[in-house]
Amino acid sequence: MASAGGGSYGVLAAGSGALSLPDGGDQSAEPALLELLDGSDSDDTVGLPRRCTAVGSDGCANIADHRTAFPMGFEHRDDCQCQAVRSRPMASNPAGPGPAADGTGWTATGLRWREGVPRLTAASGARLLEREVAVGTRVGWTVVGPRRCVGVRTAQRHHPCPVAAELEPGSKAGQCGSCQDADQGLALARDQILDDGRTYRLYLAWFGPGLAKVGLTAEQRGTARLVEQAALAWTFVARGSLPSIRRAELTVAQSGLARERFTSKAKVGGWWRLPPPDERAAAVRALRAQVLGVLAGHGVELFPADPVTDQVALFGLTDGPPAAYREITALGPGATLGGTLHAPIGRHLFVTPDQVDAPPLLLDTRLLIGWALRPTPLAPCTGITEQLRARPAEQAALF
């Protein structure tokens, strides 16, 4: 195992400079950031869909139907019996995600993987910025509050939160309740979508001994879901429509062979006790053999020989995580975070502070979402809530 100050768990090469989000006045200062707005760099007014005025106040009797029928969840059906409807255009959330009030930052929207490459992302209204996370990159940020909902991302574009709702500093949800309800990805996870016409794949993800998960992902997303949730090893086992793959997922979960969910804490705990690569692959193949037996005659296309993919090296965990580190549990206005980035592990980042002998920090990048980040010279990490984590001691044998 690596020591607390060792570099064998992810710092592979020196980066090319400090990673920072551009300030509001000079977007050319960071050429590695890409502006994305349907191919345009303009910040035009966004016309919001019509919204029933009962939504977000006294409730709407037809709100479930609204959210089933419309991707954004805020539209009004012509036959709705609620109150009046507003349909005026609204500026692209001037009070919400975007430059801070003093024009010194962009709002973080998290860490995303595209085609196997991790990217830190930020938003200004409907405009998006992103940059690849290079191992060894040095960062320096000051957190600017308040923390606000980042809205909803669809296949076509990013939709800012209509009310720029404030969020709790320690929440890992970067959206308010209304935007969560309008999020198609969350609706799928909550079984609120019966079928969307797409083809899905059933996967088995291994997060450590005793941590086997079964899940589904849209075929068009490729392997993004498996890197996002930091699966250490995985394989596809079936293919079919959403209803058929969802039934297969439930069947596997009910058999007790794998679970549908694990907490982030459980996944991180698995990093400390990783067997060798051949044993990891053997565990996934043995699990697949049992799952295929359970799914026989289930009406889905089965994959009895799909390769097992191991992502431990991708995540910089070949020698395990640091023997001790500080886990960030919340950020606050005025907090500073700086140091050297290690290889992202799903949405988690180890950061080695510049302070001598300081243990690494583990940041769940979901905690960044909704905060404006101001580029700042490298400085001690301050204003963060953290908890010390250490590798569990080996239990002595009884015999």
- Mean pLDDT value across the chain: 76
The residue among 232 and 161 whose pLDDT is bigger is 232
The residue among 29 and 112 whose pLDDT is bigger is 112
Q: Give residue 120's identity as a one-letter amino acid code.
A: L
Q: Which of 16-25, 84-93, 254-263 is the least confident region? A: 84-93
Is 229 within the bounds of a domain?
yes
pLDDT at 179: 92
Give me the sign of the Cα torsion angle 28, 34, 37, 38: positive
pLDDT at 79: 42
Is 273 within the bounds of a domain?
yes
Is 286 within the bounds of a domain?
yes
Is 99 within the bounds of a domain?
no
SS3 content of the chain, % helix, strand, coil (to 5): 20, 30, 55
Burial 84-114 (b: 16+ CB within 10 A, else e): eeeeeeeebbeebbbbbeeebbbbbbbbbbe
Domain count along the chain: 1
pLDDT at 43: 30
Task: Select from 366, 377, 372 the least CA-distant residue to 129.
Answer: 372
Q: Is the peptide bond before 392 cis (omega within 30 degrees of 0)?
A: no
Is 32 within the bounds of a domain?
no
Q: Considering the chain, what percentage of its residues have pLDDT values greater than 70?
A: 71
Residue 5 token pair: 């100050």
Domain that includes residue 274, residue range? 199-310
Q: Which of 38-52, 109-123, 133-147, 360-374 is the least confident region? A: 38-52
* Strand positions, DSSP E, 74-190: 85-86, 106-114, 117-124, 127-132, 138-144, 152-153, 158-159
Contact (CB, 8 A) for 170 and 387: no
Is 237 within the bounds of a domain?
yes
pLDDT at 181: 87
The residue among 353 and 354 whose pLDDT is bigger is 353
Please name the residues in contact with 180: beta carbons below 8 A apart, sequence gap of 6 or more: 173, 186
The rounded distance, in Å, linking the Cα atoms of 366 and 174 is 7
Is 26 within the bounds of a domain?
no
Is 289 within the bounds of a domain?
yes
Ramachandran category for residue 66: left, alpha or beta (phi over 0 → left; psi -120 to 50 → alpha): alpha
Mean pLDDT, residues 1-20 taken together: 35
pLDDT at 399: 54
